[in-house]
Amino acid sequence: MKKIVLNLFAVAIVGLTVVACKSDVKEAKTGEAQTVAQNTEAAKFKADAASSMIIWKANKIVGGHEGTINVSNGVAEFEGDKLVGGTFMFDINTIACTDIPADDEANGKLVGHLKGADFFDVEKFATAAFEITKVEGDNVSGNLTMKGIKKNVTFPATVTVTGDDVTILSETFTIDRTEWNIMYNSGKSLDAAALGDKMIKDDVEIKIVVKAKKA
């Protein structure tokens, strides 16, 4: 199987193209947090923080923004070529906006707002976590924890094993941000008609990319 080589820049560009252009994005199945299985015999693959990330896109009534959040550390667990578990931590302080030039004042203003209490509140909740609970066929389920709230989500993903290297690449899917208490300018918390074009849609598009090497 041909080895997939990805770096931060390439992943962001390719991933954002997929997120921006895909029109049939499905909402991830969401439910109560599930027990995380202990796979003591599984082979461990350590995530590469430089090329593992969440690629996100949030839409308003008019326009929107997109960007990335990097993995700080993580381990994927395999039995042979089969993904059986794993835990990944995401550093919310790395949140970046990629649709506004980095040196533009508007970029810093937006990122600062996203880190603030209206959104992720990084002073209290500096990290997010994803713990794999089950893998069935192409579907990966896991507990996603943000702002101290843990929900189980299921989404399709492609897993590629090439020697000591692993790539886990989800399809683009959506989650309802309000389930993790990210309520800013949501029609669920404020009057949608009054918000007008300032209303931010609850469904956020997500793509997960993990590159890992055998520990």
pLDDT digits (tens, 9 = 90+) for 196-206: 888 999 999 99
Over residues 6-43, the pLDDT tens digits come to: 333 333 433 444 344 444 788 999 999 999 988 889 99
Query: Is pLDDT larger for residue 127 or for residue 26?
Result: 127
Report the residue count for the chain. Answer: 215
Q: Enumerate long-range contacts of 17-26, CB under 8 Å, 24 or more apart.
A: 18/172, 18/207, 19/55, 19/56, 19/57, 19/66, 19/172, 19/205, 19/207, 20/57, 20/66, 22/172, 25/172, 25/173, 25/174, 25/205, 26/171, 26/173, 26/174
The whole-number average pLDDT for the span 68-95 is 97
Position 34 scores a pLDDT of 96
Predicted TM-score of the model (pTM): 0.86
In sequence order, what DSSP letters do the residues of 2-55 get, joined into one string? PPP---HHHHHHHHHHHHHH-S-PEEPEEEE--PPPP-TTSEEEEE-TTS-EEE
Asked if residue 205 lies in contact with residue 170, where contact means CB atoms within 8 angstroms, the answer is: no
